[in-house]
Amino acid sequence: MDLNALRIFERVAATSSFTATARHFHRAVSSISRQIRGLEEALGQPLLYRHTRAVTLTEAGWRYYEEVREVLERLDAATEALAHPSAEPSGVLRINAPVAFGQHQVVPLLHHFQRRHPGIKAELQFDDRVVDPVREGHDITFRVGDLADSSLVARRLAPMNYVVAAAPRYLHTHGEPDTPEELAGHNCLVYQGEMGRQRWYFQAAGESSAIPYEVSGSLYSNDAESLLLAALMGQGLVLFPTWLVADALASGELVPVLKAWRCEVVSGRRDLYVLTTERRLRARKVRAFLDFLFESLSPNPPWDCWDTNY
């Protein structure tokens, strides 16, 4: 079995494309196809379904991909450690994050990280779906909300704090709501993702839990940036994490309202986590990125805070 064939298979599986793999290895598509066909013949079963626009893994292909990817990563790490024991981190870093968080937080962070470590290339996948980082091959995953038990290790980065806000022109025209009940008379711009339309929860001081309030408006979207832009133009109220609207609040383009209430988009508090696997945590590129991430949050990153129960 040819090691190059395994690397080609790993790349096809990761990109779902013979063409992208051919470009990556500077080879003809026909050559890539022959390598995969030879690998399948050697194994005695198909690894890929061929479609007009893309290729997908068979169930056997998924199992083989997970094993091959781990073997190649260990081989590359061993080679790097022996050949370049004190070298700068290098290689491709695969990062997954929710769309808005990725655009506002991960991209600037990655820009500064790559300036420090120019040998690092990055593949960013932004998706509001909850994906399996192990199966998708991500080195680093940012996730909001509760974590299911898995083979991942997790570190809590920060609580998700939310704020209701609107542009001054909207408040000048429609007035400022004094209580969550008054939102029924306002134009609320609501995020609508794969879990349906987001609900708005509010908890007053002294209350034991947050209460959902029915809100509606003229715009629903699965794209937070579109809702934010509409709010900036004075179309209505939004309920977003503070990290998403911090710049607009600081500049006065948006004004916070209902400040006496704690607001959420679920019944309980949610936190932001960064996830990886114990095996990837040992990789130089992953460790370097996490060092940089926690350095940006604290001068002395407490690595003993990693929780391996996830």
Q: Do 23 and 60 lie in a common domain?
A: yes
* pLDDT at site 84: 64
* pLDDT at site 149: 54
**What is the mean pLDDT of the segment spanning 217-244?**
95
Least confident of 28-37, 195-204, 267-276: 267-276
Choose one of 86, 110, 125: the last residue of a domain. 86
pLDDT 10s digits, 100-119 = 899 999 999 999 999 999 99
The per-residue b/e assignment along 281-301, b for 16 or more CB within 10 angstroms, e otherwise, is: eebbbbebbbebbbeeeeeeb
The Cα 85–Cα 69 span in angstroms is: 23
Q: Do 29 and 109 lie in a common domain?
A: no
Percent of the chain with pLDDT strictly greater than 90: 52
Does residue 304 register a pLDDT over 80? no
Q: Is 239 exposed, middle or buried (0-12, 13-18, 19+ CB in 10 A)?
A: buried
238 vs 65: which has the higher pLDDT: 238
Within 8 A by CB and 6+ apart from 45, the residues are: 58, 60
Which CATH number does the domain housing residue 131 bear? 3.40.190.10
Q: Do 276 and 148 lie in a common domain?
A: yes
Q: Do 228 and 243 lie in a common domain?
A: yes
pLDDT 10s digits, 135-144 = 677 889 998 8
Does residue 73 register a pLDDT over 90? no
pLDDT 10s digits, 170-207 = 999 999 999 999 999 999 999 998 778 899 999 988 78
Percent of the chain with pLDDT strictly greater than 70: 91
* pLDDT at site 87: 72
For residue 227, what pLDDT band results from cuts at 50, 70 and 90?
very high
Kindly report the average pLDDT of the chain as a whole number.
86
Choose one of 29, 60, 86: the last residue of a domain. 86
For residue 308, what pLDDT band results from cuts at 50, 70 and 90?
very low
Which CATH number does the domain housing residue 193 bear? 3.40.190.290
Q: Do 185 and 171 lie in a common domain?
A: yes
Does residue 46 register a pLDDT over 50? yes
Q: Do 19 and 35 lie in a common domain?
A: yes
Report the predicted TM-score, pTM, of the whole model to 2 decimal places: 0.69
Q: Do 249 and 166 lie in a common domain?
A: yes
Q: Do 230 and 181 lie in a common domain?
A: yes
* pLDDT at site 299: 47
Which range marks the domain in which residue 178 is found?
A: 162-264
**What is the mean pLDDT of the segment spanning 225-253?**
95
Contact indicator for 227, 219 with CB cutoff of 8 Å: yes
Q: Do 167 and 25 lie in a common domain?
A: no
Q: Do 140 and 55 lie in a common domain?
A: no
196 vs 249: which has the higher pLDDT: 249
Tokens describing residue 123: 């593949």
> Domain total for the chain?
3
Does residue 3 register a pLDDT over 90? no
Q: Do 79 and 118 lie in a common domain?
A: no
Q: Do 289 and 154 lie in a common domain?
A: yes
Choose one of 63, 86, 109: the last residue of a domain. 86
Which CATH number does the domain housing residue 44 bear? 1.10.10.10
Within 8 A by CB and 6+ apart from 49, the residues are: 55, 56, 57, 58
Residue 71: CB atoms within 10 A of its CB come to: 13
